[in-house]
Structure 1
């Protein structure tokens, strides 16, 4: 059986690298870690992973990205894949966007940048318990 995937979406490569390092440091080889630099790339990657019969456990998305915003991305993901746990990680999201993601994407949590590694890992662990 293949490992579940944790997908991180952010338009800043340094954030993606940091997330991947923190996740791998905590969870090791338990999960596959994928990254996307915008919403379109994330949606394409989800489709590819699904076609490969890989299960996406968690999507961690920034809010403020070029093109589609994070709340819109998470809503789009939720419409096709409601069991994926969605987390927003941002320094820019407004309350309306967060509430929209909670209502229409079943947002698990919204964390603010800069995040604490302990808070991020605790949030992901609580998200994974929902699966």
Structure 2
């Protein structure tokens, strides 16, 4: 059975580094991990993974406030192309309207506010994969 894949997208290196440490601590080698610093890069990674690992369960975790492509646009684009991928918004700045839009248009699994609680985020992901 293929390993689940967790894709994290955030323009802040510190956030990506923290997620990297926490995910590996919690899931060890039971998952594959990908990290992107923009929505565009995230879409490239998701598209490549769908070609390379079409049968793997995938979870995309994205920030909302990013340059050029906001997280809501990114998550909606992922959902339109790959509706089977589960999406999570991890944000400190998204408005309720932006969250509601993603809930409706991207079937958002949940929105977790920054700073996140380690246990909450890990158990949310565990329920999905």
1:45 to 2:45 alignment? yes
RMSD across aligned C-alpha pairs, in angstroms? 1.2
Unaligned ranges ≥5, structure 2:
none
1:127 CA displacement: 2.4
Q: TM-score, normalised by structure 2?
A: 0.94
Q: What's the CA shift string for 1:11-59, capped at 9, x where partnerless? A: 0111011101111111111110100000000001111112212535100
Q: Aligned partners of 1:14 and 1:56: how far apart in 2?
A: 26
1:109 to 2:116 alignment? no
Q: Which position in structure 1 is the counterpart of 2:18?
A: 18
Q: TM-score, normalised by structure 1?
A: 0.93
- SS of 1:47 mapped into structure 2: helix
Q: Aligned partners of 2:53 and 2:119: how far apart in 1?
A: 31
Please identify runs of 4+ aligned residues in structure 1 that moved more than 2 A.
Answer: 53-56
Q: Which position in structure 2 is the counterpart of 1:77?
A: 78
* Count of residues in correspondence between the two structures: 128
